[in-house]
Structure formats: C-alpha cells, structure tokens
C-alpha cells in the first residue's frame, strides 16, 4: 500500500521541545505535580502506566488525565511555563484507541503519542480516529498533533513513510530504551556510551528531517538516575547529531537537559552577526564577506550557506524565546 507524500510546508508550526517527560496517567500525585516539573512537554501514559495493567487501573487513568486536561487552559491561552500536554494511548490495532481518545480530548491537549507503530497505516488509522474524537468532543478539527514512537523494527525501517503519512505528525525521533520494546525488537546490549543505537538515532533523524520534521526528539537516557555525567555525555551527543530534545522519565533531569538543548548566548550572537553580514552583503553587493580569525578555516569566509544556516538557528533560538 502506498501513501501520498505530505509536503513539509503543510505541517503546523510547532515549538521546539527540549524535554518530553513521561508521567504515569494512573498516578494522581504525579499528574497533579506535572505543571511544576519545568519540562517543555509532559506525556501522560495511558497505554501502560503501571503493571499489572488492569481495567480498573485504566479507568482510573482515564478519570485522572481527563479531569486534569479539562482543568488546564486552552493551547492558545497556555500560561507562560505551562508544558505542552500529550497523552500516549493504545494502538489503533488494539481497538481501544478511540476509548482512550474520548476520555482525554480537551482544548488543552497538544498531541497524541502512538506507541509500537509498525508502519504508515498505523498513523492513518489513528489520524481518522482522532478526527472522529475531535468532532465528537468539539475540539477544532486537525488541532491535535501526532507523535509516533519508533520502537519496532518495522517502524524504524519505515520512519520516513510514517512521518509522511499525515500532516499531523509534528514530532518524531529515534526512541531508545534499555529494557523496553525497541530492545526486544532489535536485541542490542545497552551501553552508557550508546554506540549500539547510534545508527538507529542517525537513520531516524535523517528520515525525520527529510520529511519536514523541524525539531526531532530522541529517546531516553537508560542509565542510573544519578549518573549525571553519563546523561550529559549522551544528551550532548544527541544535540551534536541534530536532535533538539529528548524523552525523560525523571523530572530531576529537566534542568540539565534544558542546558544542553538550549543555544548559548555566544552562539546566538555569532548567528546574528552572520545574518547581519549576509544581509549587508546582499544589500551593498560588496564582498567577499570575512568573519573573525583567518585561521578558523571554513568559518572565515562567509558564504550564503553559512548565512542561511545561521538564520535557521536563530529561528530555533527565538522559538525558545532567546533573542540576540
């Protein structure tokens, strides 16, 4: 089965998410505390927030998350510092996704995470269910985003096609897990250095960017919670690869992750200088444009590609409310 290409220009504007914190939807205390975590986004897990996952637990999660989201401000009126609210529901193939959607759809909800996705047909199915739930609940059509979680071999292989299956797909990236579904699918042995998943993270990043996903997000740090050095190294590599954020399971990690996925003032000033010089050169027609020490190699002679890269980076900084 083939799916029509969804041009990237049709995707809605989204803010970069440096931290995507998972919270069990069945835990009233954790859900109530989630606004104060400082995370850019919070995912209430309703697929499997605890084990064993009984029907009573699921009904409790529906009540807790549904009530919480109904109490929050609409997306357009979200208070400063308010996280983006997401919910992870069951798969469309389970036959239970619509039940989950009906329980939580509210004007404050930003998006739905699709777990265990195997191919673009899963996105198409969830998109249709989501439209029906939007209409039924009175939420504006196409206002809820989709965020596929790539944790199966099929899903990783078809990540580009998955991203192109719906214009709702706004966030995506290489999910990483020490013990979870992706580990089961591929059988790697986790290491703190992450070399065993470097190809996966790189492949999905390329597919996501080719599909027009502006701010790809990677998976979690699998190390022990107090190994902040390991977390720093892993998150730094993600940023260097081209990721703009990562999933988290521990709210204590939010400040460090935000530090690593936020451009520095020096970087922002440098990008602003390149854009200014490029714009001046275009206006005056005079060149070549030179910047800084000749010994810095490629960075000394400024070309159009440098200017446009700097312009794109400034867009990212401004989306994080950092001005030059």
Domains belonging to the chain, first-starting first, are 8-260 (3.20.20.60), 265-319 (no CATH)
Of the candidates 225, 227, 256, 261, the residue with the CA atom closest to the CA atom of residue 243? 261
Count CA atoms closer than 13 A to 3's CA, side-chain side.
18
Tokens standing for 10?
A: 């049709």
Distance CA 14, CA 145 (A): 9
Contact (Cβ atoms closer than 8 angstroms) between residue 261 and residue 231: no
DSSP state of 169: B
The model's pTM is 0.93
Contact (Cβ atoms closer than 8 angstroms) between residue 153 and residue 144: no
CB burial of residue 92 (10 Å; 0-12, 13-18, 19+): buried
Which value, in Å, is the radius of gyration of the alpha carbons in the chain?
A: 21
Per DSSP, the chain holds a count of helices (H) and strands (E) of 12, 9
Distance CA 72, CA 81 (A): 13
Count CA atoms closer than 13 A to 255's CA, side-chain side.
3
β-strand pairing of 145-148 with 84-88: unpaired
Q: What is the pLDDT of residue 9?
A: 46
pLDDT in tens, 38-80: 999 999 999 999 999 999 999 999 999 999 999 998 887 777 8
Look at the chain and count its residues.
324
pLDDT in tens, 204-242: 999 999 999 999 999 999 899 999 999 999 999 999 999
Q: What is the pLDDT of residue 323?
A: 87
β-strand pairing of 301-302 with 289-290: antiparallel
In the chain, what's the furthest Cα-to-Cα distance?
71
Across the strands, what pairs with 43?
22, 86
Of the candidates 243, 161, 236, 232, the residue with the CA atom closest to the CA atom of residue 202? 243
CB burial of residue 185 (10 Å; 0-12, 13-18, 19+): middle
Distance CA 271, CA 209 (A): 21
Contact (Cβ atoms closer than 8 angstroms) between residue 307 and residue 275: yes
Of the candidates 166, 164, 89, the residue with the CA atom closest to the CA atom of residue 128? 166
Tokens standing for 219?
A: 């998976």
Of the candidates 217, 215, 220, the residue with the CA atom closest to the CA atom of residue 179? 220
pLDDT mean for each 10 residues of the chain (324 residues): 49 94 97 97 95 94 97 83 95 95 97 95 97 96 95 94 96 81 85 91 95 94 94 96 96 98 96 96 92 83 94 96 89
């Amino acid at each position: 089965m083939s799916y029509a290409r969804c041009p990237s220009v049709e995707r809605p504007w989204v803010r970069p998410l440096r931290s995507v914190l998972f919270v069990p939807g069945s835990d009233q205390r954790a859900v109530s505390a989630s606004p104060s975590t400082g995370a850019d986004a919070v995912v209430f897990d309703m697929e499997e927030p605890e084990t064993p996952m009984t029907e009573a637990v699921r009904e409790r999660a529906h009540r807790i998350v549904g009530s919480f989201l109904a109490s929050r401000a609409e997306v357009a009126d979200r208070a400063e510092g308010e996280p983006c609210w997401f919910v992870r529901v069951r798969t469309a193939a389970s036959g239970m996704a619509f039940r989950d959607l009906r329980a939580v759809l509210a004007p404050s909800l930003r998006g739905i995470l699709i777990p265990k996705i195997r191919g673009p047909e899963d996105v198409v199915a969830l998109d249709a269910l989501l439209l029906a739930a939007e209409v039924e609940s009175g939420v504006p059509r196409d206002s809820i985003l989709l965020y596929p979680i790539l944790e199966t071999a099929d899903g990783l292989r078809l990540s580009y096609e998955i991203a192109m299956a719906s214009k709702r797909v706004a966030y995506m990236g290489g999910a990483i897990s020490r013990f979870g579904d992706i580990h089961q699918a591929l059988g790697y042995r986790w290491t703190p250095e992450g070399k065993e998943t470097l190809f996966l993270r790189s492949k999905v990043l390329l597919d996501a960017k080719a599909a027009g996903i502006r701010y790809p997000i990677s998976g979690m740090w699998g190390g022990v919670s107090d190994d902040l050095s390991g977390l720093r190294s892993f998150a730094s590599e993600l940023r260097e690869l081209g990721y703009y954020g990562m999933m988290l399971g521990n709210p204590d990690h939010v400040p460090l992750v935000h530090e690593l996925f936020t451009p520095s003032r020096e970087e922002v000033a440098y990008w602003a200088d390149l854009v200014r010089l490029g714009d001046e050169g275009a206006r005056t027609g005079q060149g070549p444009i030179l910047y800084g020490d000749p010994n810095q190699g490629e960075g000394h002679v400024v070309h159009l590609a440098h200017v446009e890269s700097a312009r794109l980076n400034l867009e990212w900084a401004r989306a994080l409310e950092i001005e030059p």
